[in-house]
Amino acid sequence: MVSAYYYVLKKYHESDVQEAGYQAMEKYKYFPKPSELVSLIAKKQADTQYEANFAPDNSPVKIWPNVRCRICGKIGMCIQEDDTWQCRQCYTGLTNEEIADRWEQATEKLRGF
Ligand SMILES: [Zn+2]
């Protein structure tokens, strides 16, 4: 039984599962089924993705302004690719400062033209 919960919920971020669990404890009379937790997580994700992403529908990569990173759990701008999404830091492996530095270098090069 525990393995069924693990199998269904392992693809979601731990903090999302925990939050859905808390909600379910308040909302449901009986211990929540995995499908009920998935519904709560999906609703949260839909609510969070209220703003349009910055890419066409058929693009393999999308950028969302206000979603929870699947790696670190922070809410912010995330890059979606292959049914998962990550913040800029997790996606690139760079800190915010390093990303800003790289961006500054790129714009310096552009100024040369
Ligand atoms: Zn992240």
Burial class (CB within 10 angstroms; exposed 0-12, middle 13-18, buried 19+) of 16: buried
Written as six digits, the tokens of 81 are: 């690719």
3-state SS class at 1: coil
Query: How much distance in Å is there from the Cα of 111 to the middle of ligand 1?
Result: 31
Specify the pTM: 0.49
- Residue 100: DSSP 8-state: H
Contacting residues for 105 by C-beta, under 8 A, at least 6 apart: none
Q: State which residues have CB under 5 angstroms from ligand 1, the bound ion.
A: 69, 71-72, 87, 90
In this prediction, residues 82-107 reach a mean pLDDT of: 90
Query: How much distance in Å is there from the Cα of 68 to the middle of ligand 1?
Result: 8
Task: Render pLDDT for 60-91 as a digit per residue (tens, 0 to 9).
Answer: 888 887 788 889 988 888 898 887 889 999 99
Q: Which of 80, 28, 34 is nearest to 54 (CA)?
A: 80
Task: Render pLDDT for 15-60 as a digit per residue (tens, 0 to 9).
Answer: 888 888 998 988 888 888 999 998 988 887 776 655 556 677 788 8
Cβ contact 67:75 at 8 Å: yes
